[in-house]
Structure 1
C-alpha cells in the first residue's frame, strides 16, 4: 500500500476548502452532471424540427453540441472510444447519426461531413472484421439492427456513404438484421433482448407491415412520456406523431442536461443514452469519481450513504 504524502497545515486547510467547494457543487448538480453524453441520441434529438417552424430544429442547442463534439483531430468521428482511445462500434452509428443531423439542417462546416464519411470508409470494415473475429462476441444484436437503419437514413438524405458498395462483412450485418427481424426473439439460450421497438428509429419502414407510432405509443409510452426511456426512440416517435407527452419528455431532458452544477451551459447540450438516469447509477458514478480524485476522506458520509443505497 502506498502511503499518502504528508501535507502541512496550510495545505490541509486549502484541501478542506477545496473539498467544501466541490461538495457544494456535487450537492447542487443534477443527476445528468455525472453521466456521459451520447452522440447518437443527441443527434436524433437535434433532428427534431420545431412544430411551428419546420425549417429549424426544436433543440438547436443539441445541434450545436453535435457540431462541437466531432473528434476532428482524431479522424473526424463522433461517439465513444475504448480505454485506449480507439473508435468502437458506437462510433459508426454515432457518426452516421451526427452526419444525418448536420445534413438535415445544412449545419456546420461542410468538411465535418466529409471527414465523417472518410472515417466510415476507412474504418468500418476494419472494426466489423475485428468484432467478427471474436467468436464468443461477434456483432452485437443492437448494432446489427441500428447500423443498417442508419445507413439507410443517410442514403435517404443524399449521403453516399459507401459509393463502391458494401463489403462482404457489411453485407453480413444486413443479413444478421434480416434474421433478427424475421425471428423477433426476446430471449435466446438464456440471453434476454430488449424488444425491437427499443430501436424504433432504426427499424425499416416495412418491418411487420410498418409500425404505427401512434398505436405503439398508446400501449408502450412510459409515464414520463418516453419510449423505453430512450431519447432517440422518443425523438423519432415525436417526429412521427407530434405527441405532446413525447415533446414534454424531450424538453425536460434537454433542460436538465443544460445545467451543470448551478450554471447553465451555453456551448451546446448533449443528452445521455437513457433518461431519466437511475439513482443507483448516479451513486456508483459519484463514488467512483470521488475515489478517483483521491478525495474520499473528505466525503466519508456521502460515500457511506451512496454505498448504503447501492447495497440496500
Structure 2
C-alpha cells in the first residue's frame, strides 16, 4: 500500500499529486494529446513574422509557422471562424499582417502571387463583414481594446490597409481613455503587470 505524506498543516501532498496526475491522464487524447493544450493561430502568426537579416537578405526563422497559417485559412478568408466573432477578428487581423509581410517571399512556400493576393483579399473581405457586425461595447475578451488598434495601426502604416466600421470610434475611444490613459511605462518595465500578457499591443 502506498504511503502518504502529510504536512504539519494537514495537507496530503501524495493525494494532491495523484489527483493532479489523474486529471491530466483523464484529459489525454490519442489524436490531440492533451485536450487543454490547443494550437493558437494568434500566437503562431506572431511567431511566423520573426525574421533575421543574413548577408543583407531577409530570412524567416520559423517558416513552418507561416505554412500553418496558410493551411488554416478558411474558405471565407478568416481564421478561427468557428469561434466567437472577436477571436476570428483578432486572429484574422494578425494573420493578414503575416500574409502581407510574407507577400514578397511567398514563392518560398510554393504559392503564386495570384494566390497570396486572393488570400489577402478574402481576409480583408472577411474582416469587413465581421467588423461591421461587431458590437464593441459588449465584448469581454481581455485586452482587445489594446491589441486590435495596434494591428490596425501596423496594417495601415506598413501597407495602407484601413478598416472603417460602425463601432470604430467606440473602439478607439476605449483604447485611448479606458486603457492607454491608465498605463505608464513603469508598469511595463519596473513591476509585474497584466500588460505583460499583451506586450505586442505596445509595438
Q: Shorter-normalised TM-score: what interval? A: 0.5 to 0.7
Residue number in structure 1 paired with 2:14: none
| Equivalent position SS for 1:161 | coil
Q: Pick from 33, 47, 50: which aligns with 1:48?
A: 50
Q: What is the TM-score when the length of structure 1 is the normalising length?
A: 0.45
The residue number in structure 2 matching 1:169 is 167
Q: 2:67 aligns with which of 60, 64, 67?
A: 64
Shift of 1:41: 0.8
Deviation at 1:68, TM superposition (A): 0.8
5 Å matches for 1:231-242?
Answer: none
What's the CA shift for 1:167? 3.3
The higher-RCO structure (CA 8 Å, 6+ apart) is: 1
**Map of 1:1-312 to 2, 5 A cutoff?**
35-50=37-52, 52=54, 54-72=57-75, 75-79=76-80, 81-82=82-83, 87-106=84-103, 107=106, 108=111, 109=115, 110-127=117-134, 129=135, 132=137, 134=138, 138-162=139-163, 166-179=164-177, 180-184=179-183, 195-203=194-202
**Mean CA deviation greater in 95-104 or 31-40:** 31-40
Q: Could you list the runs of 5+ residues in structure 2 that have no partner in the other structure?
A: 1-24, 185-192
Tell me if the contact between 1:100 and 1:157 (Cα under 8 Å) persists in the aligned partners.
no
Inter-partner Cα distance in structure 1 for 2:88 and 2:150: 15
Which residue in the other structure is 1:11 paired with? none
Alpha-carbon deviation of 1:27?
A: 9.2
Gaps of 5+ in 1: 1-22, 186-193, 206-312
What's the CA shift for 1:63? 0.4
The CA deviation at 1:34 is 5.4
How many Å separate the matches in 2 of 1:79 and 1:122? 15
Q: Distance in 2 between matches of 1:51 and 1:29?
A: 38
CA gap of 1:155–1:196, structure 2 versus 1, over 3 A, is: same
Q: Report SS of the residue matched to 2:159.
A: coil
Q: 1:35, CA displacement in angstroms?
A: 2.0
- TM-score of the pair, normalised by structure 2: 0.66
Structure 1 position 153, deviation (Å): 1.1
CA distance in 2, matches of 1:94, 1:27: 26
When residues 172 and 67 of structure 1 are mapped into structure 2, their CA distance, relative to the original with a 3 A threshold, is same
Alignment CA distance shift 1:178-1:141 (3 Å): farther
Equivalent residue pairs, number: 158
